[in-house]
Amino acid sequence: VLLSGGTFFYYLLEMDNTLAGLPFRGQLVNAFLGAVTPRTAGFCVADMGTLTTGTLMLTLILMIIGAAPMSTGGGLKVTTVCVALLTAHNAARGKENVEIRKREISPETIRRAFATIVFYFCWLGLAVWVLSITEKYVSVFTLTFEVVSALSTVGLSLNFSPLLSISGKLVIIFTMLVGRIGILTFFI
């Protein structure tokens, strides 16, 4: 869903922008790479500063969700987001047990998923707040993008990282370290 949906929306959002002028196969490959990149290693297919706002939001969402467990990619992890969504869906339906494919997800797994999400967004908020103090006159979206990229260990940038102050660079470096260790492991 993340790969095919990401590719589809990346293509739709960029077909008249960074994908314009490419043959259809090139557009499709670039759109696919644009959907894969935010969840893995940070290979840029286009100058991130030239992407549309919609594409940047899509990239931000994909960076937050991240990779699959046991991979080297960062982010919240696909299974953590899936457990949280299933739990929310069951809560809305009034069901007590969370099941997937007729197997119950343990309450411990649900607690860990929600703890990971809460810690992730707490760190994200704190880091963006500190950067908003150290990097005056920079949009909150740019700061959020840089912090999410660092926390999810993606390596993408809106061409702003080189312009960070020394204290801003230290915030990003420490955020990368926390993202690499894992947000739940860091807090434990």
Residue 67: predicted pLDDT: 87
What does the alpha-carbon distance between residue 51 and residue 17 come to, in Å, rounded to a whole number?
A: 7
154-180 per-position pLDDT tens digit: 888 898 988 999 999 999 999 999 999
From the CB of residue 81, how many other CB atoms can be counted at a distance below 10 Å? 18
* Distance, CA of 162 to CA of 120 (rounded, Å): 24
**Looking at the chain, how many residues does it have?**
188
pTM: 0.90
Helix, coil or strand: residue 84: helix
Q: What integer pLDDT is reported at residue 159 of this predicted model?
A: 87
Q: How far is CA 151 from CA 13, 156, 185, in A?
A: 25, 11, 13
What sign for the dihedral angle of Cα 100, 106, 109, 110? positive
